[in-house]
């Protein structure tokens, strides 16, 4: 049964349908035949556009990478604020959700596909450097209220990174709903890490940071 409605080049339809199917049931059970059927084209046609399923997955990841790099833009010519962090994390959660098949199977996919692994490490390295820089900037801007040498900054960056990458998977694994409220709990955790001495009320959404 076709899954796509609008007019679109077949190559993109394939990617579109594949993403939807992967998100729905995972990459394993979805065959190239399923994808072709969903895109309302013949199996042979699919193989004109892609060598195999692996390449479709790689291409989807490239889309993820592209959007991902657009999330990690730091403000120019002014010190970053916690509001920037909150915004960044939220955008990141949106992206994780859009490509949820990817994080659900990430370790397994990277393990199986060397090309994908290399690309992932490359993108992630750049992202982490920017992120680490953001945390360091908080310290110099005085936004963070704990004694911070380089080792501490490393740890804070690791912690926040861990939350931003795994809070959503954590919610899913534990059967909790994925909505704005639940996602914001992740943001609050991050603020707790950065400002552990703040009063709880000050961490909530109502008080702009």
**Burial of residue 89 (number of CB atoms within 10 Å: 0-12, 13-18, 19+):** buried
Dihedral Cα 167, 168, 171, 173, nearest 10 deg: -110
**Can residue 104 be called a binding residue for DNA (CB under 7 A)?**
no
| Partner in contact with 98, chosen from DNA, a second copy, none, beta carbon below 5 to 8 Å by kind | none
Contact in structure between 40 and 2 (CB atoms under 8 Å): yes
For position 33 contacting a second copy by CB under 8 A, the verdict is: no
φ/ψ of residue 115, rounded to 5: -55, -50
Q: What stretch of H or E contains 83?
A: helix 82-98
Q: Is residue 115 a contact residue for a second copy (CB under 8 A)?
A: no
Other Cβ atoms closer than 10 A to 134: 18
CA 86, 149, 163, 165 torsion: positive or negative? positive
**How far is residue 154's CA from residue 209's CA, in Å, rounded to a whole number?**
23
Can residue 158 be called a binding residue for a second copy (CB under 8 A)?
yes
Q: In this structure, is the dihedral angle defined by the CA atoms of residues 38, 43, 49 and 52, taken in order, positive or negative?
A: positive
48 contact, one of a second copy, DNA, none, CB 5-8 Å limit per kind: DNA
Q: Residue 26, interface with DNA (CB under 7 A)?
A: no
Candidates 33-41, 70-78, 84-92, 113-121; binding stretch for a second copy (CB under 8 A): 113-121
CB atoms < 10 A from the CB of 108, how many?
12
Binding of a second copy by 193 (CB under 8 A): yes
Position among 43, 63, 75, 196 found at the interface with DNA (CB under 7 A)? 43
* Chosen residue from 6, 197, 206, 208 binding a second copy by CB under 8 A: 197
**Rg (the chain; Cα; Å):** 20
Residue closest to 86 by CA, chosen among 196, 201, 189, 199: 189
165 binds, among DNA, a second copy, none (CB under 5 to 8 A by kind): a second copy
Considering only 12, 24, 26, 42, the residue that binds DNA (CB under 7 A) is 42
Out of a second copy, DNA, none, which partner does residue 110 contact, by CB within 5 to 8 A per kind? a second copy
Q: Which residues bind a second copy (CB under 8 A)?
A: 25-26, 28-29, 103-108, 110-112, 117, 120-121, 124, 146-147, 149, 151-152, 155-156, 158-159, 162-163, 165-167, 169-170, 172-175, 185, 188-189, 192-193, 196-197, 199-200
Which positions lie near DNA, rule CB under 7 A? 10-11, 31-34, 40-45, 47-49, 51-53
């Amino acid at each position: 049964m076709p899954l796509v409605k609008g007019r679109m080049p077949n190559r993109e339809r394939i990617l579109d349908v594949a993403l939807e199917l992967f998100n729905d049931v995972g990459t394993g059970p979805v065959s190239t035949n399923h994808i072709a059927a969903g895109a309302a084209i013949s199996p042979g046609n699919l193989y004109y556009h892609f060598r195999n399923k692996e390449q479709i997955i790689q291409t989807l990841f490239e889309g993820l990478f592209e959007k991902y790099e657009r999330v990690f833009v730091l403000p120019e010519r002014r010190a970053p604020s916690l509001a920037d962090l909150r915004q960044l994390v939220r955008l990141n959660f949106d992206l994780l959700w859009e490509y949820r098949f990817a994080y659900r199977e990430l370790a397994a996919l990277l393990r199986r596909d060397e090309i994908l692994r290399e690309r992932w490490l490359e993108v992630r390295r750049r992202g982490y450097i920017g992120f680490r820089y953001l945390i360091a900037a908080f310290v110099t801007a005085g936004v963070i209220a704990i004694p911070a040498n380089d080792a501490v900054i490393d740890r804070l960056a690791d912690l926040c990174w861990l939350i931003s990458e795994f809070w959503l998977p954590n919610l899913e694994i534990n059967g909790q709903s994925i909505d704005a409220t639940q996602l914001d709990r992740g943001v609050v955790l991050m603020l707790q890490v950065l400002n552990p001495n703040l009063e709880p009320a000050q961490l909530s959404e109502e008080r702009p940071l």
